[in-house]
Amino acid sequence: MSGSLQSLCWGSSACGGIVSSYFSGSLVEVYGVRSVFGVTALLPLITSVVSLLVKEEPVHGPARGLSLGNDFFESSKSSIIQLWGAVKQPNVFLPTLFIFLFQATPQSGSATFFFITNKLGFTPEFLGRLNVVTSVASLIGVALYNGFLKKVPLRKIFLVTTIIGSALGMTQVLLVTGLNRKFGISDEWFAIGDSLILSVLGQAFFMPALVLAARICPLGMEATFFATLMSIANGGSILGGLLGAGLTHIFGVTKDKFDNLALLIIICNLSTLLPLPLLGLLPRDEPDSDENTDIEMTPY
């Protein structure tokens, strides 16, 4: 049931984003940046309070394969050895490598953000509304995956969403060059529509990656391994941001100069197609079961 569980988690996250997104822009305009930083630093403490409501029975060493009775360093050493033993297995290492490489493609998001704020003059309040649209689109993407795609093989989802996403990502070139206005579409409405479509597709693409990460976790160390996979994915995203920053510098795109921004967007979108030949690294997965039974998920 990994697909359903991930849909529930990220659907809840999208609902929270809908509640908070609009106020993130309007509060900046009314109270200023310093006050909003103070509020957003305080609110996450609520998570600590909620954690007190979680009831969890401890699992002892024999069930997990760890000597939890030893001192901290011995227990940590045992965990690291067990983690490395799981990662180096081909049926785990290869999908992990695929997730990293997919996240590591260059990104043009920062350069585009400077364009819409400095060049187009989008206000914080409008950016808040744009975030609301993005959160709603993420919720739609989760619903789309949970309702129609969770029984589709992961390889097929990655292939289709990557190709369509790369093609639709080129629409940002229309906004950068101003061609949208020639078709009678204002910059604001074009940005809203573009964010809606790309966010739905992006979430529909992201969900299979989460499901894949959950399915390849070895029994007995699911939490540690899933956290490690997410760290690797985040590391790939950071690398993609650095590569995007390097290309931004090479093309001479700055906060005031956007002559080559369209070319930067095209190259970054085309780069998302590069990992597609590595789809063969993914396991041939089994679809989620509709029955509420205990299923032992295996990589192959």
Please report the DSSP string for 62-111 in residue order.
HHHT--TTS-HHHHHHHHHHHHHHHHTSHHHHHHHHHHHHHHTS---HHH
Structural domain total, the chain: 1
Evaluate if pTM is beyond 0.75: no
196-224 pLDDT, tens digit each: 888 888 877 778 777 777 777 777 777 77
Residue 203 belongs to some domain of the structure: yes
Tokens of 75: 């227990």
At 296, the pLDDT band (50, 70, 90 cuts) reads: very low
Residue 36 belongs to some domain of the structure: no
Q: Quote the DSSP letter at residue 117.
A: I
Residues in contact with 272: Cβ distance below 8 Å, sequence separation at least 6, in sequence order: 105, 162, 165, 166, 169
At 110, the pLDDT band (50, 70, 90 cuts) reads: confident
Residue 229 belongs to some domain of the structure: yes
82-95 pLDDT, tens digit each: 777 777 777 778 88
**Tokens 């050493």 belong to which residue?**
77
Residue 43 belongs to some domain of the structure: no
- pLDDT average, residue stretch 154-167: 85
At 264, the pLDDT band (50, 70, 90 cuts) reads: very high
- Count Cβ neighbours within 10 Å for each residue of 77-101 and write b for 16 or more, e otherwise: ebbeebeeebeeeeebebbbebbbb
Residue 286 belongs to some domain of the structure: no
Arithmetic mean of pLDDT over the chain: 79
Cα separation, 29 vs 53, in Å, equals 36
- pLDDT average, residue stretch 64-93: 67
Residue 23 belongs to some domain of the structure: yes
Residue 251 belongs to some domain of the structure: yes
pLDDT at position 248 is 92
The CA–CA distances, whole Å, from 269 to 42, 79, 102, 199, 244 equal 37, 39, 12, 15, 11
CATH number for position 121: 1.20.1250.20
pLDDT at position 287 is 53
Residue 57 belongs to some domain of the structure: no
Q: What are phi and psi of 150, to 5 degrees?
A: -70, -15
Domain boundaries, position 174: 2-28+92-281
Cα separation, 84 vs 103, in Å, equals 22
Contact 108, 292 (CB under 8 A): no
